[in-house]
Each structure stands twice: as structure tokens, then as C-alpha cells.
């Protein structure tokens, strides 16, 4: 349109322009604009193409806006229908982890703190003085009773033995001569050839020489004993500690440190305490001849170290703590228990068999009652009051209020209430026999058979 206006203006200027002198050459004709048709005044094809393009763009925009509005209305309608359906169906099930109550065995335990105490700890000392010639053990070795541990120079003691043996031979000869003289004096007295006083003197001389011979024999025995003490043997079977004296040193019987310490490792005992309130139950079991099993656990109560039996009880209660000391004995072939090691001792008092057990995590408590959440057949939850008996580890005994085979909510109880619908994932079933009974010691089983 601007080109048409510009062309029209130029034509009008040419029409009204003043006449030129005849002698001037005529101006050259002005060429037509490429955007205008000289005959019809219509726009070129490129302009028509642009108009069609803008027309299609407008149509597409209108269709897109219309489709978006239609889609929004359909989505809102579908969401409203889904919300109405969900409202009619109720809230979705709550995901929980559940467990099944079962029939099994559980033990009644008394727990106490204790320490491993060896049945024998021996400090080996020399009984004779002399130079330590050799050491026949290595630190940490396990030695048996009678094994040779060390040797002391026996030369001086061998010389003493030889000397006493020579003195014995000399005194025996003197005794024999005195006995011959006694026989001679007895004959002379019978013949009235010698006084009786001389006979009596000779009899005393014989007795005196007999005493000297006895002394010599005793000295020989003493020398042999000292000679035997030069070879030091293990008095008990146990584990050798750190060496206290090296070979080459002069050792004496008056030394307080000794040569080495031997500790008996197998069997080994542990001393632990229980409350005086629990004493009467233990006394009744012991008086009835029952062998009570004791389990030794580590400090964290997670690892079972050994299983033994109750050996004895102390004879008095500690008045400052109100506890009584008990000793249990354990077989310790692998050296799991170590002297002075801290342990948690658990004394098995009673075995309850065929009772209803549930995971302790499923038991809930408030100020009024103890209860569990029971999952019904329609996946709804009901609150069930129960009575708890013995609790051992992760399991608890239900004395009343629950039967074996019922499904209980174990985790996710904070999300449910009575009547809630749940989606329960059942945890794996527990064994029907308590592990304490599966690992009972042979001595305990033998005691139960004898009863």
C-alpha cells in the first residue's frame, strides 16, 4: 500500500510539473516499482503468500487454544470422578509389617555381672638356690602337669649327695664294729670276765651309732630331694604367662616374683552375682538336685561365649550390694573365656514349653494396659488386651488374651488405630524351640534325664 501511495504521488508530481523549454531533452521514463502491477495495481505473489501464511497461523492458534481448553475440562472431570470414587471407597490401606503368634518354648533367666576366674593360678618358684641353666618353655604355651619347665645347676647338690653317702658308709662301718664289740662284751659278762658297766656302755655306743646312721640316711634323702628340685616341673595343666626370669640368672627360693605363672584354662570358672531376692528360688533348685545351666555372654550381650553349669554358691550375702556370689564352671577347649574377662552370666531357672510367643516389638503399653494390634481376616485392625509373662530376648510369652496363629502388627503401629484397614507384610516365622534349649549342654541334658 505504501508503494502504491508512493507511485501515485510520483505520478501526480509528474503531471503538475512546469513545462520545460523546447530545446531541453525529454526526461527518461520512470520504471514501474517491482511490487506493483502497472496494469491492474494488484500486489505481487510473494505478498499473497505471506497473507496465507498468517491466516494459517491464526487458524492453528485458534485450534490449539480450543484443544487446551477442552483437555483441561476433561482432566478436571476425570479428577473429580476419581476423587468421588476414592471418597466412596474410603482411605487406602496402611502398609505395616506383621508377625504371627506361635507356640514354642521360652526360658526364665536370672542375669548377673561376673568375671572369668581360673580354677587354679600357680606362681612357679624355685625351691633351691642356684644358677638357672635352661628354660624349656615358650611364653603362651599350654603345658601339662609334670612337664619340665626349667633346670637349675645341680652340681653342688650332686656333690652334697656324694658326701653324705660317703659319711653314711663310714658311720655304718662304725656301727658294725660297735655291734661286734657288744657281742664280745655280752660273752665276757656271762663268764664274769668283764663288768656289766662296760656292757651297758657298749650297748649305748651301738644305739648312738645307729642314730648317726639314721642321720646320714636323712641327709642323703635331703640331698636327693634338693637334686630333684633342680628340675622344675609344671604343677598344673594350663597356659604359661610371660617369662619373669631368663636363663643364666641366679635364682633363690626367697624370690617373691617366681619364675613363671601358670593359669588353668580348661575347665575354667566364672563368678557372678544375683540379687538376694532371687536366692530362695535358686536354693530350692539346688536342694532338689537340679543342674542349672549358665550361659556366658560378652559385654554387649550379643555373642554367646560358652555354656556351663552352676557349681556352688557363696556362704553369705554381701550386705553392701544385697547380692550373692555364684560360681559356674565352663569347658573351655578353644580358650574363648580368658581369666579376668568381664561377662554377662545368665542362669536358666525354668523352661516353659508349649506357650504362646509373640515378638516383643509387637507388644504395646500405656498407663492402663498392655495390648497388641490384631489383624482380622478383612484386613482391619483390632486392639486386644493381653497379659505378658516371661520376656526373653526378642520374644515374649503371652499368658492370656491371644492364641497361636493370630497376626499382629509389629512395625507401623503409630499409623494405625482400631478399625484401620492395613496392608500387612508377614515377617518370617520364628522357630518353635528356643535357641537356649537347642544349645543345651550335655551335662544339663544328662541331669534332666536323671531327674
Residue 152 or residue 92, greater confidence: 152
Q: Is 138 exposed, middle or buried (0-12, 13-18, 19+ CB in 10 A)?
A: exposed
Of 350, 372, 390, the domain-final residue: 350
Kindly state whether residues 342 and 401 are assigned to the same domain: no
Residue 272 has pLDDT above 80, yes or no: yes
Kindly state whether residues 145 and 239 are assigned to the same domain: yes
Give mean pLDDT, residues 299-325: 94
Kindly state whether residues 413 and 390 are assigned to the same domain: yes
Does residue 45 form part of some domain?
no
By residue range, what is the domain housing residue 188? 154-229
Kindly state whether residues 374 and 399 are assigned to the same domain: yes
Does residue 1 form part of some domain?
no
Of 203, 229, 255, the domain-final residue: 229
Angle at 348 between CA 342 and CA 351, to 5 degrees: 155
Kindly state whether residues 268 and 300 are assigned to the same domain: yes
Kindly state whether residues 268 and 318 are assigned to the same domain: yes
pLDDT digits (tens, 9 = 90+) for 211-259: 999 999 999 999 999 999 999 999 999 999 998 999 999 999 999 889 9
| Percent of the chain residues topping a pLDDT of 90 | 58
Kindly state whether residues 395 and 425 are assigned to the same domain: yes
Does residue 13 form part of some domain?
no
Kindly state whether residues 255 and 279 are assigned to the same domain: no
Does residue 111 form part of some domain?
no
Does residue 423 form part of some domain?
yes
| Percent of the chain residues topping a pLDDT of 70 | 84
Residue 303 or residue 444, greater confidence: 303
3-state secondary structure of 393: coil
Does residue 50 form part of some domain?
no
Residue 188, domain CATH? 1.10.287.470
Question: Of 352-356, 414-418, 424-428, where does the model show the most confidence?
Answer: 352-356
Of 331, 350, 369, the domain-final residue: 350
Kindly state whether residues 373 and 417 are assigned to the same domain: yes
Tell me whether strands 130-135 and 250-251 are parallel, antiparallel or unpaired: antiparallel
Mean pLDDT of the chain: 84
pLDDT digits (tens, 9 = 90+) for 147-201: 999 999 999 999 999 999 999 999 999 999 999 999 998 888 888 888 888 889 9
Kindly state whether residues 238 and 312 are assigned to the same domain: no
Whether 364 contacts 382, CB under 8 Å? no
The Cα-based distances of 235 to 118, 191, 300, 404, 423 in angstroms read 15, 64, 36, 58, 69
**pLDDT at position 299:** 93
**pLDDT at position 293:** 95
**pLDDT at position 440:** 42
Residue 9 has pLDDT above 90, yes or no: no
Whether 107 contacts 436, CB under 8 Å? yes
State the cell numbers at 152. Answer: 637349675
Residue 407, domain CATH? 2.40.420.20
Does residue 119 form part of some domain?
no
Does residue 87 form part of some domain?
no
Residue 277, domain CATH? 2.40.30.170
**pLDDT at position 44:** 59
Residue 244, domain CATH? 2.40.50.100
Kindly state whether residues 211 and 176 are assigned to the same domain: yes
Kindly state whether residues 137 and 257 are assigned to the same domain: yes
pLDDT category of residue 45 using cuts at 50, 70 and 90: low
Q: How many domains does the chain divide into?
A: 4
Give mean pLDDT, residues 300-324: 94
Amino acid at each position: 500500500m505504501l508503494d502504491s501511495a508512493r507511485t501515485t504521488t510520483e505520478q501526480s508530481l509528474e503531471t503538475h510539473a512546469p513545462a520545460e523549454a523546447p530545446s531541453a531533452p525529454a526526461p527518461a521514463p520512470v520504471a514501474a516499482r517491482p511490487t506493483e502491477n502497472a496494469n491492474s495495481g494488484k500486489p505481487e505473489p510473494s505478498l499473497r503468500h505471506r497473507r496465507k501464511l498468517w491466516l494459517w497461523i491464526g487458524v492453528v492458534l485458534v485450534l490449539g487454544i480450543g484443544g487446551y481448553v477442552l483437555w483441561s475440562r476433561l482432566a478436571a472431570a476425570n479428577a473429580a470422578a476419581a476423587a468421588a470414587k476414592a471418597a466412596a471407597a474410603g482411605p487406602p490401606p496402611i502398609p505395616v509389617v506383621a508377625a504371627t503368634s506361635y507356640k514354642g518354648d521360652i526360658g526364665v533367666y536370672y542375669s548377673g555381672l561376673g568375671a572369668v576366674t581360673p580354677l587354679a593360678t600357680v606362681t612357679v618358684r624355685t625351691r633351691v638356690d642356684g644358677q638357672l641353666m635352661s628354660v624349656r618353655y615358650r611364653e603362651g604355651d599350654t603345658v601339662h602337669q609334670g612337664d619340665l619347665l626349667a633346670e637349675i645347676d645341680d652340681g653342688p647338690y650332686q656333690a652334697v649327695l656324694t658326701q653324705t653317702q660317703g659319711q653314711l658308709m663310714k658311720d655304718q662301718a662304725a656301727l658294725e664294729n660297735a655291734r661286734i664289740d657288744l657281742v664280745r662284751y655280752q660273752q665276757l659278762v656271762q663268764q664274769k670276765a668283764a663288768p656289766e658297766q662296760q656292757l651297758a656302755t657298749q650297748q649305748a655306743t651301738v644305739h648312738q651309732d645307729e642314730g648317726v646312721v639314721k642321720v646320714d640316711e636323712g641327709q642323703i634323702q635331703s640331698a636327693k630331694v634338693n637334686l630333684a628340685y633342680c628340675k622344675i616341673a609344671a604343677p598344673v595343666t594350663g597356659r604359661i604367662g610371660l617369662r619373669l626370669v631368663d636363663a643364666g640368672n641366679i635364682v633363690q627360693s626367697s624370690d617373691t616374683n617366681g619364675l613363671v605363672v601358670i593359669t588353668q584354662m580348661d575347665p575354667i570358672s566364672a563368678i557372678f552375682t544375683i540379687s538376694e531376692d532371687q536366692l530362695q528360688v535358686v536354693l530350692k533348685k539346688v536342694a532338689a538336685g537340679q543342674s542349672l545351666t549358665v550361659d556366658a555372654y560378652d559385654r554387649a550381650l550379643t555373642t554367646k561365649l560358652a555354656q556351663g553349669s552352676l557349681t556352688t554358691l557363696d556362704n553369705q550375702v554381701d550386705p553392701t550390694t544385697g547380692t550373692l556370689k555364684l560360681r559356674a564352671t565352663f569347658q573351655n577347649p578353644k580358650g574363648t573365656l580368658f581369666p579376668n574377662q568381664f561377662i554377662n552370666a545368665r542362669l536358666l531357672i525354668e523352661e516353659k514349653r508349649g506357650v504362646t510367643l509373640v515378638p516383643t516389638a509387637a507388644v504395646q503399653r500405656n498407663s492402663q494396659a498392655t495390648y497388641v494390634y490384631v489383624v482380622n481376616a478383612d484386613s482391619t485392625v483390632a486392639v486386644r488386651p493381653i497379659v505378658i509373662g516371661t520376656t526373653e530376648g526378642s520374644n515374649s510369652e503371652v499368658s492370656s488374651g491371644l492364641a497361636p496363629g493370630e497376626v499382629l502388627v509389629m512395625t507401623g503401629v503409630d499409623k494405625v488405630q482400631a478399625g484401620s484397614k492395613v496392608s500387612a507384610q508377614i515377617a518370617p516365622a520364628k522357630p518353635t524351640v528356643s535357641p537356649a534349649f537347642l544349645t543345651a549342654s550335655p551335662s544339663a541334658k544328662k541331669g534332666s534325664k536323671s531327674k
